[in-house]
Amino acid sequence: AQSVSQHNHHVILSEAASLELGCNYSYGGTVNLFWYVQYPGQHLQLLLKYFSGDPLVKGIKGFEAEFIKSKFSFNLRKPSVQWSDTAEYFCAVTPALYSGAGSYQLTFGKGTKLSVIP
Amino acid sequence: DVKVTQSSRYLVKRTGEKVFLECVQDMDHENMFWYRQDPGLGLRLIYFSYDVKMKEKGDIPEGYSVSREKKERFSLILESASTNQTSMYLCASSHRVRHTEAFFGQGTRLTVV
């Protein structure tokens, strides 16, 4: 089974600072990768996803992530954060190829809480 | 717009009660998931289903069961609620095809007293 590790539990930044949130996964095969965001009081929504092709993926609201296969990493970045980016961010992984019913499992990390100070 | 609807936003139940959490999706998705979300622990998968009447255990299935009698509906059952099952429960759905994202409901905050 796969697993996801997010290195930072809580990150505090000032507005306009650059952001990088770490995500590493553990799985022996090809994967699909996701970043989700949960704004206070709201449901989880997709920020961006990687399935194949260009390892640099662009998402909504100026976020991007880079898939580095050799490092099993999928770090989330944003050049300049805003107060409205205050939220909890979750990295998730699912196997890309079918190898039984367990392939449909979508596994999340523990999340990183981002607080942006105006 | 994809909609995943959970029947209750807030529930308070007593220890030992049988609790049903309902989830309905309107996008003809094959996969449906139940997670619980706790501070510092992220989202932990309880059960998922990839087709009607099919279910698979996730990472923390103990104390829970599920039912998928219709494609659009996935129920989570707490056979005998305990205080350590107080949590936020999230339902999600996705297409079975590999290249897809999961869509989430608003969550049910369950308190067991």
What does DSSP assign to residue A117? Answer: E
Single-letter code of the amino acid located at A14: S
Q: How many domains does chain B have?
A: 1
A76/A89 Cα distance (integer angstroms):
9
B24 Cβ under 8 Å from any chain A Cβ:
no
Dihedral (CA of A106, A110, A115, B3) sign: positive
Question: How does strand B31-38 pair with strand A19-21?
Answer: unpaired
pLDDT at residue A101, rounded to an integer = 73
Token output for B45: 């998968």
Q: What is the pLDDT along chain A (118 residues), one digit of tens a residue?
A: 789 999 899 999 999 999 999 999 999 888 999 999 999 989 899 999 999 899 999 999 999 999 999 999 999 999 999 999 999 999 999 888 777 777 778 899 999 999 999 9
Domain definitions of chain A by residue range: 3-117
Looking at residue B96, which CATH number applies to its domain?
2.60.40.10
What pLDDT is stored for residue B99 in this prediction? 56
Q: Is A99 helix (H, G, I), strand (E, B) or coil?
A: coil
pLDDT at A103: 76
Kindly state whether B85 is in contact with chain A, defined as any CB-CB distance less than 8 angstroms: no
Predicted pLDDT at A44: 93
Q: Residue B95 belongs to what domain range?
A: 4-112
Query: A40: nearest CA in chain B?
Result: B106
pLDDT at residue A99, rounded to an integer:
75
Find the CB nearest B42 among A51, A105, A110: A110
A43 touching chain B per CB within 8 A:
yes
Q: Which numeric CATH code is attached to A3-117?
A: 2.60.40.10
Residue A58 to chain B, least CA–CA distance (Å): 15
What is the predicted pLDDT for the residue at A98? 76
**A104 in reach of chain B (CB within 8 A):** yes
Q: How far apart are CA B22 and CA B84, in angstroms?
A: 20
A33 torsion bin: left (phi>0), alpha (psi -120 to 50), beta (else): beta
Q: What is the pLDDT of residue A112?
A: 97
DSSP states of chain B: ---EEES-SEEEE-TT--EEEEEEESS--SEEEEEEEETTTEEEEEEEEEETTEEEE-S--TTEEEEEEETTEEEEEESS--GGG-EEEEEEEE-SSSS---EE---EEEEE-
What does each of the 113 residues of chain B score in pLDDT, given as a tens digit?
668 999 999 999 999 999 999 999 999 999 999 999 999 899 999 999 999 999 999 999 999 999 999 999 999 999 999 999 999 999 999 987 755 789 999 999 999 99
